[in-house]
Structure 1
Amino acid sequence: MIPRCFHNLSALANFSESFSPIIFSLMLMDGVPEKAILVKKGIEMEYSKILGFVKGMDLSCNFMYGEIPEELTGLLALQSLNLSNNRFSGRIPSKIGNMAQLESLDFSMNQLDGEIPPSMNNLTFLSHLNLSYNNLTGRIPESTQLQSLDQSSFVGNELCGAPLNKNCSANGVIPPPTVEQDGGGGYRLLEDEWFYVSLGVGFFTGFWIVLGSLLVNMPWSILISQLLNRIVLKMYHVIVEYV
């Protein structure tokens, strides 16, 4: 689990005028290198000359589980946060919007549930977001930043609202599909009912016309009854032999 004491990482919590690189990664624990390859905005990037400006945390592709601690949102200077491909559950921290410097945020391929926090509207520098393949529900918060993202950022959830094509109802949930559809090519429930009623009436009328004509014509009725008797007897013999 992510320890709650992460908020004590003061170099990531405070804005500093110094340009010493702050990189926290479970794959990078040998001090500060002259150059580094980091996954930022969903792309592997190599930093060398501007490495001193990078403040990122990458805990992706591990076996980490539990909830994402609210204390993590105290890392106000963090520019990139990647917790993808783990087993995190629970909700996205409600104060995620406090991390106003975030440019890249990746929570994909976890088991997060609940709604996207409204505070995410405060992430005005966010240019890459990936919340795909979780158990998130409800309406995507409305902000210029979130609505400008690609639909792939939200797939694999039960979310609705722009930029997705699923519209939300008044209470922010995905409305169930309606039976009645307007426009050409669609069927209405009333029309379907009348179709089946007319089909039943037509079958009933045709059946009794044929049967009535046979009853009136006695030779034909006798012939048909004999034929039916033979069929029944053959079926009876077959069943007896099978048993």
Structure 2
Amino acid sequence: MSHLQVLDLAQNNLSGNIPSCFSNLSAMTLKNQSTDPRIYSEAQYGTSYSSMESIVSVLLWLKGRGDEYRNILGLVTSIDLSSNKLLGEIPREITYLNGLNFLNMSHNQLIGHIPQGIGNMRSLQSIDFSRNQLSGKIPPTIANLSFLSMLDLSYNHLKGNIPTGTQLQTFDASSFIGNNLCGPPLPINCSSNGKTHSYEGSNGHGVNWFFVSMTIGFIVGFWIVIAPLLICRSWRYAYFHFLDHVWFKLQSFRLGSITV
């Protein structure tokens, strides 16, 4: 499928490894600079041309939202394999697709490292590798992607420093939470001994143990006070007698203040 520009296999039940033959998608290997608003298809007796302005309109979920592409569809290249059961590593052949704009492999069971050659994919505008089991460090070459406007590496097993680059530091911290990463934009400084800490964030899907412990403490304290009152009648009488006494004192104090 050398002319394929949009491959969307998201939200299926696909399993196994990602094939390495993706490098054969030659339409995604070179940056498309054509403004020709037509797509080409092989007919029985030659090549036929279809005007995209009048025929083709595709709704693509890119950068976390759905957009309709019509006139510029010929300029869009996308691979979406998200929400499947894919295993194994991300094949390095993916990095040969220098003309690819959008890459989404989130919500799978991918392992291994992010390919070092990802920095060669200079046309990438969006990368989503979130919610896999990727490990190792973020390749420093990812900072070379000057057109990158959306990045999500959250909830993997990545570690180390977030590479320094103008693009990476402008992303929200939620793009990196759920890993063992440090450095901006995360509020975790990288220590000199190389140790990092997992950061879940207050708006992510991680567990905020401070609020969990506070809630448990409130519930336990509440029942320590209330349970004896429910079980022991003499304690209830003593408790309400004490409240009546306090209320009487307060009323007497208030009336005394008014009289004065």
Quickly name the TM-score band, shorter chain normalised.
0.5 to 0.7
Farther off after superposition, 123-132 or 39-48: 39-48
Q: Please state if 1:13 is matched with 2:9.
A: no
2:155 equivalent among 106, 110, 133:
133
1:106 equivalent among 110, 128, 150:
128
2:182 equivalent among 155, 160, 163:
160
Q: Secondary structure at the match of 1:39?
A: strand
Farther off after superposition, 162-171 or 114-123: 162-171
Q: Secondary structure at the match of 2:95?
A: helix
2:146 equivalent among 124, 138, 145:
124
Structure 1 distance, partners of 2:64, 2:77, is 16
Paired amino acid for 1:153: S
Structure 2 distance, partners of 1:34, 1:160, is 45
Q: CA deviation digits over 1:182-215, x for unaligned, max 9? A: xxxxxxxxxxxxxxxxxxxxxxxxxxxxxxxxxx
1:41 equivalent among 63, 75, 86:
63
**Correspondences of 1:220-235 after superposition (within 5 Å):** none
Displacement after TM superposition at 1:173 (Å) = 2.9
1:72 equivalent among 89, 94, 103:
94
Paired amino acid for 2:25: L
Structure 2 distance, partners of 1:175, 1:56, is 34
Q: CA deviation digits over 1:38-79, x for unaligned, max 9? A: 121121222122212211111111111100011110000001
Q: CA deviation digits over 1:154-205, x for unaligned, max 9? A: 01111100000011012543279xxxxxxxxxxxxxxxxxxxxxxxxxxxxx
What TM-score comes out, normalization by structure 2 length? Answer: 0.61
Q: Is the 8 A contact 1:109 1:134 kept in 2?
A: yes
What TM-score comes out, normalization by structure 1 length? Answer: 0.65
Structure 2 distance, partners of 1:86, 1:13, is 24
Farther off after superposition, 165-174 or 128-137: 165-174
Structure 2 distance, partners of 1:132, 1:139, is 14
Structure 1 distance, partners of 2:106, 2:86, is 10
What RMSD over aligned residues (CA atoms) do the two structures have, in Å?
Answer: 2.0
Structure 2 distance, partners of 1:174, 1:118, is 17
Q: Is the 8 A contact 1:68 1:92 kept in 2?
A: yes
Q: Is the 8 A contact 2:31 2:123 kept in 1?
A: no
Percent identical:
52
Q: Please state if 1:4 is matched with 2:12.
A: no
Equivalenced residues, count: 167
1:54 equivalent among 70, 76, 89:
76
Q: Secondary structure at the match of 1:138?
A: strand
> Could you say which residue in structure 2 is the equivalent of 1:86?
108
In terms of Rg, which structure is larger? 1
Paired amino acid for 1:103: Q
> Could you say which residue in structure 2 is the equivalent of 1:201?
none
Q: Secondary structure at the match of 1:44?
A: strand
Structure 2 distance, partners of 1:175, 1:130, is 18
> Could you say which residue in structure 1 is the equivalent of 2:255?
none
